[in-house]
């Protein structure tokens, strides 16, 4: 009798299906598990980073900028008239006094105008004297006429008084008395008129002479101007100091207003600093500063803050106090530091590579064992030259990385080796 065998092919197929299913489930599970795993933290050379420790204490806020020493007293000497440079007598770098002749110019027209102006003054003065003689003669003639009228008036008055006495005695008639009194009255009126005429003529003389005198003064002023233009052909320093520049050459023609020379006092200098516009907002006049000339440090105070911004910087003038170090001279390059304020008790760290004041940045805080660092969000406050205030995100004693970590912006943790 034959016994029916079980179907081995069907069982084998089922086992294969189950095996494949299990393998697929395992692969899916492994894939999901690997997907949930975080990538390994990248390694960073610990010797290439710039770490710092968060500190608490006083913080001196400062700003720093580059600049130059410039003279406080500078005299730019312009050309007064159009002229030709005949001779340059002093070269730049020479010590000069106020009356030192730097160069000589020539202008024949200026010389002729000075001579003409002098003759015009003499002519005006002669005309003035002639006018005075004439009006004084007219006044004297008027005064003589007035004197005659005054004498006639006195005689007529005495005659009227005499006739009045004679009329009382009956010697003369009343008609003769009235005639004498009328004559006296007429002469009195003429006497008053002549007096007023003399007063009016005297005032008229003053007005006429004032016009003539004004003409003389005008000519004298013109002559003084011509003489000044003539004298300006000898260009003088004007102040004691050092001749800085002579931007003209011998034989060159110059126009009025053209710069002929620059004279400065080298012992009276100030520092002209260029401060970044983002750091200049807290600078005030009177704040202390220090200027490093690379051969010594000079203390000073802020004396002027330029209201304009040029090429991203603000110009700040610092008044220097004390004796200048050796080698200090105009146009010398210097480093300047200005003290803004002193904060009493704040958390602060060194300034990170990318972190402006009053901003929030991501920084790597180093683990206590020093083997790794994690990114934290740090809120920064007021800044100084080399330090910045910490408002949130760190505490005293924490160690952070200040150097540029932009290469690892896409990771939150690094390993330090």
Give 72-93 pLDDT, tens digit per residue: 888 999 998 889 999 999 999 8
Instruction: Give the pair of three-digit tokens for residue 374.
Output: 């994690």
Backbone angles phi, psi at 281, to 5 degrees: -70, -25
Query: What's the confidence (pLDDT) of residue 101?
Result: 92
How far apart CA 285 and CA 287 sit, in angstroms, is 6
List pLDDT tens digits, range 348-375.
999 888 878 888 989 999 998 888 889 9
CA angle 317, 320, 323 (to 5 degrees): 160
Low-confidence ranges of the chain (pLDDT < 70): 1-12, 18, 28-40, 163, 170-171, 173, 177
Query: What's the confidence (pLDDT) of residue 305?
Result: 93
Query: What's the confidence (pLDDT) of residue 33?
Result: 58
How far apart CA 67 and CA 335 sit, in angstroms, is 6
Give me the torsion for CA of 143, 146, 148, 154, rounded to 10°.
-130
Please give the CATH architecture assigned to the domain spanning 74-107+233-263. Beta Barrel (2.40)
**Three-class SS state of 248:** coil
For residue 251, what is the DSSP state? T
Query: What's the confidence (pLDDT) of residue 414?
Result: 86
For residue 38, what is the DSSP state? P
How far apart CA 18 and CA 28 sit, in angstroms, is 15
Strand 333-350 versus strand 55-71 pairing type: antiparallel
Task: Give the start-end residues of each E strand in 72-225.
Answer: 74-78, 83-88, 95-96, 101-106
Query: What's the confidence (pLDDT) of residue 37?
Result: 47
CA angle 386, 388, 394 (to 5 degrees): 130
Query: What's the confidence (pLDDT) of residue 40?
Result: 63
Give me the torsion for CA of 365, 366, 372, 373, rounded to 10°.
10
Cβ contacts of residue 40 below 8 Å, gap of 6+?
A: none
Sheet architecture: strand order including 253-254: 234-236, 101-106, 83-88, 253-254
Rg (CA), the chain: 52
Instruction: Give the pair of three-digit tokens for residue 145.
Output: 């006429």
Query: What's the confidence (pLDDT) of residue 1?
Result: 46
Say how many C-beta atoms besides its own lie within 10 A of residue 80's C-beta: 20
Instruction: Say if residue 368 is exposed, middle or buried (CB neighbours under 10 Å; 0-12, 13-18, 19+).
Output: exposed
Helices and strands in the chain, H and E counts: 3, 21
Select the CATH number that applies to the domain covering 42-71+268-417 from these four: 3.30.450.260, 2.40.50.100, 2.40.30.170, 2.40.50.140: 2.40.30.170
Instruction: Give the pair of three-digit tokens for residue 212.
Output: 């003539």
Query: What's the confidence (pLDDT) of residue 286?
Result: 93
For residue 324, what is the DSSP state? P
Cβ contacts of residue 282 below 8 Å, gap of 6+?
A: 61, 63, 340, 341
Query: By the 8 A CB rule, do 138 and 200 touch?
Result: no
Query: What's the confidence (pLDDT) of residue 163?
Result: 67
How far apart CA 356 and CA 381 sit, in angstroms, is 9
List pLDDT tens digits, range 281-329.
889 999 999 999 988 899 999 999 999 999 899 999 999 988 888 888 8
Say how many C-beta atoms besides its own lie within 10 A of residue 89's C-beta: 12
Query: What's the confidence (pLDDT) of residue 292?
Result: 92
Task: State pTM to two decimals.
Answer: 0.59
Instruction: Give the pair of three-digit tokens for residue 114.
Output: 């000075």
């Amino acid at each position: 009798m034959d016994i029916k065998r079980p179907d081995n092919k069907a069982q084998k197929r089922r086992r294969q299906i189950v095996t494949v299913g299990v393998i697929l489930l395992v692969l899916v599970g492994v894939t999901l598990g690997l997907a949930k795993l975080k990538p390994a933290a990248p390694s960073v050379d610990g010797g290439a980073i710039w770490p710092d420790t968060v500190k608490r204490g006083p913080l001196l806020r400062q700003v720093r900028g580059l600049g130059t020493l410039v003279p406080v007293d500078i005299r730019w000497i312009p050309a007064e008239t159009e002229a030709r440079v005949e001779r340059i007598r002093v070269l730049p770098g020479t010590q000069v006094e106020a009356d030192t002749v730097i160069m000589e110019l020539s202008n024949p027209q200026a010389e002729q105008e000075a001579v003409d102006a002098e003759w015009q003054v003499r002519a005006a003065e002669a005309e003035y004297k002639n006018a005075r003689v004439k009006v004084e003669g007219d006044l004297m003639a008027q005064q003589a006429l007035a004197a005659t009228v005054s004498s006639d008036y006195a005689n007529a008055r005495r005659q009227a008084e005499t006739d009045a006495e004679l009329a009382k005695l009956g010697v003369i008639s009343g008609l003769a008395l009235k005639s004498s009194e009328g004559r006296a009255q007429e002469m009195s009126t003429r006497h008053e008129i002549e007096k007023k005429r003399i007063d009016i003529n005297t005032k008229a003389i003053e007005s006429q002479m004032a016009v003539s005198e004004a003409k003389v003064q005008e000519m004298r002023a013109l002559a003084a101007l011509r003489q000044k233009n003539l004298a300006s052909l000898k260009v003088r320093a004007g102040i004691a100091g050092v001749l800085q520049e002579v931007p003209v050459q011998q034989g060159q023609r110059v126009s009025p207003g053209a710069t002929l020379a620059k004279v400065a006092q080298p012992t009276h200098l100030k520092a002209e600093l260029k401060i970044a516009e983002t750091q200049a907002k807290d600078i005030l006049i009177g704040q202390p500063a220090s200027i490093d000339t690379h051969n010594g440090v000079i203390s000073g105070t802020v004396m002027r803050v330029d209201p304009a911004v040029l090429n991203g910087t603000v110009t700040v003038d610092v008044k220097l106090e004390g004796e200048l170090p050796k080698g200090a001279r105009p146009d010398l390059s210097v480093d300047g530091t200005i003290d803004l304020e002193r904060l009493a008790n704040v958390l602060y760290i060194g300034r990170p590579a990318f972190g402006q004041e009053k901003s929030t940045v991501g920084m790597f805080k180093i683990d206590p064992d020093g083997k790794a660092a994690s990114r934290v969000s740090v809120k920064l406050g007021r800044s100084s030259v080399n330090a910045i205030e910490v408002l949130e995100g760190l505490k005293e004693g924490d160690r952070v990385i200040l150097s540029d970590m932009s290469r690892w912006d896409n990771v939150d943790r690094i390993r330090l080796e």
